């Protein structure tokens, strides 16, 4: 709802029902196909809930798909919402959550000077929006073994990088190889969670920054060298001043921007070839009475530029879960990235 000066804000509505769609698991539809169907259903612009749920129901196992508008929640929020859902089903009484302050509100109270958002031109191929043709959409899941996940964690630490850096390096190397790119750089977007820096919990909120950096792969860099560079580029946004400065700068920009300005900003500064949204190790138990959370896939989210390959990452039961979403999918992207990682893990330190 808009307030007095026309800015949109949220209100707490305890009676607003969350739409639920139920499909039988024995109907021959996989959860990946049902997720593709969710992409074909826009939220619209009316005063309606910005969340809906699809349940693939079976006697022995169920799949739950939670779809939300990014204005109200991010992937980590939804992971914790699924936890709350399972706790409620196991008989636990849940407390009523209040509306938390936005990250812009939190940052505005920190009195940290903000920088400026400078315009930068991109290659013209990155200045096109996705053709949202549902027939082109492909969503695929893949899981690394717990043994490989543990090896990757240990080797990343030894190489002075992170699992996120190593995974991201493998994804952009795989995309570069499969797309047969030559000299043009690969643009990588890494979603950065800001909660622990801003004192926010995992209630429904959007607490993410999305920096995009180009990487020149024409000289065939080693995966670990590339991973360290990716990790280094994210370091400024893993500090409170860096986070507050980025949020405040964007908030100032949005207040005076036209819709055309915002579209140009997205295409010129956020557009990416590969998006990696890594939820990390899921920080809660997976047993809820007689129920067990066997897998967690996602998030499945696209920034909206042509050719984009989005990979959601979550680590559960010691194993990395991957979800690939694209309207122009590169075949075997996840498997190619896995082979690249296995080769890097087998290389000498």
- Is the pLDDT score of 117 beyond 50? no
Helices (H), 20-145: 31-39, 75-89, 103-108
Spatial separation of the C-alpha atoms in residues 308 and 179, rounded to whole Å = 11
- Output the pLDDT for position 7: 59
Tell me the pLDDT band of 129, cut-offs 50, 70 and 90. Answer: low
Tell me the pLDDT band of 11, cut-offs 50, 70 and 90. Answer: low
pLDDT, one tens digit per residue, over 207-227 is 888 889 999 998 888 999 999
Highest mean pLDDT among 68-82, 229-243, 285-299: 285-299
| 223: CB partners within 8 A, 6+ apart | 166, 169, 170, 173, 340, 341, 343, 344
Highest mean pLDDT among 13-22, 40-49, 228-237, 265-274: 228-237
Spatial separation of the C-alpha atoms in residues 50 and 229, rounded to whole Å = 37
CA torsion 79→313→160→173, rounded to 10°? -160
Q: Is the four-CA dihedral 191, 192, 198, 199 of positive or negative sign?
A: positive
Domain ranges of the chain: 20-89, 121-346
Spatial separation of the C-alpha atoms in residues 72 and 274, rounded to whole Å = 24
- Rounded average pLDDT over 116-143: 66
- Rounded average pLDDT over 13-39: 85
Q: Minimum mean pLDDT among 33-47, 241-255, 326-340: which range?
A: 241-255
Rounded to the nearest integer, the mean pLDDT of the chain is 85
The pTM of the whole model exceeds 0.85: yes
Tell me the pLDDT band of 125, cut-offs 50, 70 and 90. Answer: very low
- Is the pLDDT score of 293 beyond 80? yes
- Which H or E run contains 242? helix 240-256
- Is the pLDDT score of 109 beyond 80? no
Per-residue CA distances from 65 to 4, 36, 82, 297 (Å) = 36, 11, 9, 10
Tell me the pLDDT band of 3, cut-offs 50, 70 and 90. Answer: low
pLDDT, one tens digit per residue, over 228-256 is 999 999 998 888 888 877 777 776 677 77
CATH superfamily label, 121-346? Nonribosomal peptide synthetase, condensation domain (3.30.559.30)
- Residue whose C-alpha is closest to residue 326's, from 348, 346, 345, 303: 303
Residue listed under structure tokens 């407390």:
95
| 21: CB partners within 8 A, 6+ apart | 52, 53, 54, 55
- Is the pLDDT score of 128 beyond 80? no
Tell me the pLDDT band of 66, cut-offs 50, 70 and 90. Answer: very high
């Amino acid at each position: 709802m808009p307030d007095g000066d026309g800015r949109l804000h949220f209100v707490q509505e305890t009676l607003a029902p969350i739409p639920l769609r139920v499909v039988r698991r024995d109907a021959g539809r996989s959860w990946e196909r049902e997720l593709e169907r969710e992409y074909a259903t826009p939220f619209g612009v009316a005063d309606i809930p910005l969340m809906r749920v699809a349940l693939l129901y079976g006697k022995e196992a169920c799949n739950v798909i939670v779809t939300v508008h990014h204005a109200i929640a991010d992937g980590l929020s939804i992971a914790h919402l699924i936890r709350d859902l399972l706790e409620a089903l196991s008989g636990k009484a849940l407390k009523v959550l209040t509306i938390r302050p936005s990250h812009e509100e939190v940052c505005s109270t920190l009195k940290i000077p903000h920088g400026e958002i400078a315009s930068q031109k991109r290659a013209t191929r990155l200045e096109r929006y996705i053709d949202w043709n549902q027939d082109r959409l492909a969503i695929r899941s893949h899981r690394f073994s717990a043994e490989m996940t543990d090896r990757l964690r240990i080797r990343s630490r030894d190489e002075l990088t992170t699992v996120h850096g190593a995974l991201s390096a493998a994804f952009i190397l795989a995309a570069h190889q499969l797309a047969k790119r030559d000299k043009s750089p690969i643009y990588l977007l890494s979603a950065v969670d800001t909660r622990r820096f801003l004192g926010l919990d995992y209630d429904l909120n959007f607490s993410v920054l999305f920096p995009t950096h180009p990487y020149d792969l024409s000289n065939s860099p080693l995966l670990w060298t590339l991973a360290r560079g990716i990790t280094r580029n994210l370091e400024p946004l893993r500090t409170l001043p860096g986070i507050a400065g980025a949020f405040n700068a964007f908030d100032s920009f949005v207040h005076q921007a036209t819709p055309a300005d915002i579209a140009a900003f997205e295409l010129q500064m956020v557009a990416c070839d590969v998006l990696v949204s890594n939820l990390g190790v899921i920080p809660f138990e997976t047993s809820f009475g007689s129920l067990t959370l066997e897998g967690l896939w996602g998030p499945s989210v696209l920034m909206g530029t042509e050719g984009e390959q989005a990979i959601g990452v979550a680590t559960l039961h010691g194993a990395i879960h991957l979800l690939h979403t694209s309207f122009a999918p590169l075949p075997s992207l996840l498997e190619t990235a896995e082979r690249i990682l296995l080769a890097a893990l087998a290389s000498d330190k």
